[in-house]
Amino acid sequence: MIITMKKGVTEEQIRNVVQKLEQIGARGHVSVGEFRTVIGAIGDDAKIAQLPLEAFPGVESVMPILKPYKLVSREFQEEYTILNIDDVEIGPRTFTVIAGPCSVESEEQIVSVARAVKAAGASILRGGAFKPRTSPYSFQGLGREGLKLLALARKEVGLPVVTEVLDVRDMELVYEHVDILQIGARNMQNFLLLSEAGKQDKPILLKRGFSATIEEFLMAAEYVAKEGNSKIILCERGIRTFETATRNTMDISAIPLIKKASHLPIIVDPCHATGKHDLVVPLSRAAVSVGADGIMVEVHPSPQEALSDGPQSLTPSEFETLMSEIRPLVELCGRTQRQRRI
């Protein structure tokens, strides 16, 4: 249920509505927009419908939310969500580039890549400390040591950092070292982990699952939002189809579809979508063209020696070429590429 408040509504009037919802076991999520304030009522629809909400002081109208996902829908919030992470803006006015190695392997590797991607124009550094791998015998990441190296690289170059958290038991540890918590494709429907992420006060980068529909993807985001964390970045990273020419099939149509359905920012991971480094540039251009809010790219100093995902990683010089090729498109689409100030 969406409760639209009148212009000039007071904090006390908003609080009264939220408290009434809580009395029947529901929740009231308040969203203050540029032109209006709305309260998303989440809970037993039958009980909520019995409340005389339109009679409450400050309430303008009450409407049902038709989508199964409530808080992340455009019905709840018309304006795009804009996130600001340590001077980096993610939203419709900018095109944010996240770059770094698939896995943190050593201090020299992560720091050198961090310096290279920042020099080329990236705004956020990525790197895996805990790696979920298909084979239990593959490199699983450096764990705690990898997190320390990511924090060191952040200090060295001044870029905010994102890495994946695999388990609720690691949430506190990962939280201490990074600026953005990533939930990967394999964990998109790990509902316990999603709920725990929703209790954090840092942004969550949520990747689409291999075989997830767009509705399932947005429902996963709803698990995070329901717990109070609305700082969510969606990531299209390719889905599993019958095609074997690429690692996955990049669903480019998901970008405008999600933009229409949700107010959350969405970025594209062309590396995981294809598994081929020579397809990263054209698919990055496509991402800009269809309205994505950014891309996430894997960069390694020697991809042929990478401990994970070497075939889909760019060298620093290839990443520099990528940035120069998408820059005119970004400007043509009326966006800017912002790099964090030192």
The percent of residues above 70 in pLDDT, for the chain, comes to 98
Question: pLDDT value at position 139?
Answer: 76
The rounded distance, in Å, linking the Cα atoms of 182 and 180 is 6
The rounded distance, in Å, linking the Cα atoms of 67 and 215 is 9
Domain membership of residue 341 (yes or no) is: no
**For residues 65 and 40, is the Cβ–Cβ distance under 8 A?**
yes
**Do 166 and 266 have their domain in common?**
yes
The rounded distance, in Å, linking the Cα atoms of 20 and 18 is 5
Neighbours of 33 (CB within 10 A): 11
Question: pLDDT value at position 199?
Answer: 97
**Do 48 and 155 have their domain in common?**
no
Segments forming the whole domain that contains residue 295: 83-332
**For residues 232 and 206, is the Cβ–Cβ distance under 8 A?**
yes
pTM over 0.95: no
The rounded distance, in Å, linking the Cα atoms of 173 and 150 is 13
Report which DSSP code applies to 277: G
Tokens 């933009």 map to which residue?
259
Q: Which of 255, 251, 273 is nearest to 264 (CA)?
A: 255
The rounded distance, in Å, linking the Cα atoms of 93 and 151 is 28
Q: What is the mean pLDDT of residues 205-229?
A: 96
Q: Which of 322, 326, 336 is nearest to 288 (CA)?
A: 326
Question: pLDDT value at position 338?
Answer: 66
**Do 40 and 128 have their domain in common?**
no
**Do 49 and 138 have their domain in common?**
no
**Do 58 and 189 have their domain in common?**
no
Q: Per-residue DSSP letters for 35-70?
A: S-EEEEEES-HHHHHHS-GGGSTTEEEEE---SS--
- Give residue-wise pLDDT tens across range 19-52: 999 999 998 999 887 778 999 998 888 899 899 9
Is the pLDDT at 262 greater than 70? The verdict is yes
Compute the mean pLDDT over every residue in the chain, rounded to the nearest whole number: 93
Q: Between residues 162 and 63, which one has the greater pLDDT?
A: 162
Separate counts of helices (H) and strands (E) for the chain: 11, 14
Domain membership of residue 77 (yes or no) is: no
Domain membership of residue 49 (yes or no) is: yes
Final residue before a domain boundary, out of 34, 63, 92? 63
**Do 192 and 297 have their domain in common?**
yes
Sign of CA dihedral 339, 312, 134, 307: negative
The rounded distance, in Å, linking the Cα atoms of 16 and 297 is 46
**Do 87 and 59 have their domain in common?**
no
The rounded distance, in Å, linking the Cα atoms of 106 and 116 is 16
**For residues 116 and 122, is the Cβ–Cβ distance under 8 A?**
no
Is the pLDDT at 137 greater than 80? The verdict is no
Is the pLDDT at 138 greater than 80? The verdict is no
By residue count, the chain amounts to: 342
Is the pLDDT at 341 greater than 50? The verdict is no
Domain membership of residue 174 (yes or no) is: yes
Distance from CA of residue 176 to its chain's centroid? 19
**Do 51 and 105 have their domain in common?**
no
**Do 241 and 145 have their domain in common?**
yes
Q: Nearest 10 degrees: CA dihedral of 246, 269, 194, 340? A: 160
Q: CA 80, 208, 41: angle at the middle one, nearest 5?
A: 50
**For residues 227 and 289, is the Cβ–Cβ distance under 8 A?**
no
Question: pLDDT value at position 339?
Answer: 55
**Do 210 and 119 have their domain in common?**
yes
Q: What is the CATH number of the domain that holds 14?
A: 3.30.70.1140
The rounded distance, in Å, linking the Cα atoms of 130 and 139 is 9
**Do 104 and 227 have their domain in common?**
yes
Domain membership of residue 97 (yes or no) is: yes
Tokens (6 digits) for 127: 């790197």
Q: What is the mean pLDDT of residues 310-331?
A: 96
Q: Between residues 43 and 207, which one has the greater pLDDT?
A: 207
**Do 179 and 114 have their domain in common?**
yes
Distance from CA of residue 326 to its chain's centroid? 21
Q: What is the mean pLDDT of residues 1-19?
A: 92
Question: pLDDT value at position 342?
Answer: 42
Burial class of residue 260, CB neighbours in 10 A (0-12, 13-18, 19+): exposed
Domain membership of residue 118 (yes or no) is: yes
Domain membership of residue 100 (yes or no) is: yes
Question: pLDDT value at position 85?
Answer: 94
Tokens (6 digits) for 13: 């009037």
Question: pLDDT value at position 135?
Answer: 79
Total structural domains within the chain: 2
Question: pLDDT value at position 136?
Answer: 79
Final residue before a domain boundary, out of 63, 97, 116? 63
Domain membership of residue 339 (yes or no) is: no
Q: What is the mean pLDDT of residues 67-95?
A: 93
Q: What is the CATH number of the domain that holds 236?
A: 3.20.20.70
